[in-house]
Amino acid sequence: MIIAKEFTFDAAHQLPGEDCYGKCRHLHGHTYKLIVEIEGVVRDKGWVMNFKDLKEIVNEFVIEKLDHANINDYVEISTAENILLWIRKQIEDKLYPKLTSLTLWETPTSYAKLIC
């Protein structure tokens, strides 16, 4: 069984001053959407994991750090892909079911997905 929880946060970031990064070389912000998927068996309480517990973990170790922050304080080259790698390091050992995937939407039409 796979369950998922969606989170949003607003944050600024800036990519390096190389031409390949285009306008993203300038400090700017996004409203990010993060989807955390975990996989496991349905346990005796009738769930894989309590959504409340999942929410508390992600809020404490990811959202509270990144929301209304400069992501470059945590991730040097703050592409969506690198942000996902950082997020995985923050939470994967705190989830008792298996972390299956992380999806980070940077804009309504652009996202990266990390299969864990």
Domain boundaries, the chain: 2-115
pLDDT of residue 97: 82
φ, ψ of residue 23 in degrees (nearest 5): -65, -20
Give pLDDT tens digits for 73-82: 999 999 999 9
pLDDT of residue 62: 98
- Say which amino acid occupies 98: K
- Is 26 labeled as catalytic in the residue annotation? no
Question: What's the mean per-residue pLDDT of the chain?
Answer: 96
| pLDDT-derived band at 100, boundaries 50, 70, 90 | very high
- Is 39 labeled as catalytic in the residue annotation? no
Annotated active-site residue in 30, 39, 106, 116 = 106
- Say which amino acid occupies 7: F
Annotated active-site residue in 24, 30, 39, 116 = 24
Question: Which CATH class for the 2-115 domain?
Answer: alpha beta
Annotated active-site residue in 60, 68, 92, 116 = 68
φ, ψ of residue 89 in degrees (nearest 5): -60, -30
Distances 88 to 31, 43, 45, 78, 100 between C-alpha atoms, Å = 19, 24, 26, 14, 10
Number of helical (H) and strand (E) elements in the chain, helices listed first:
3, 5
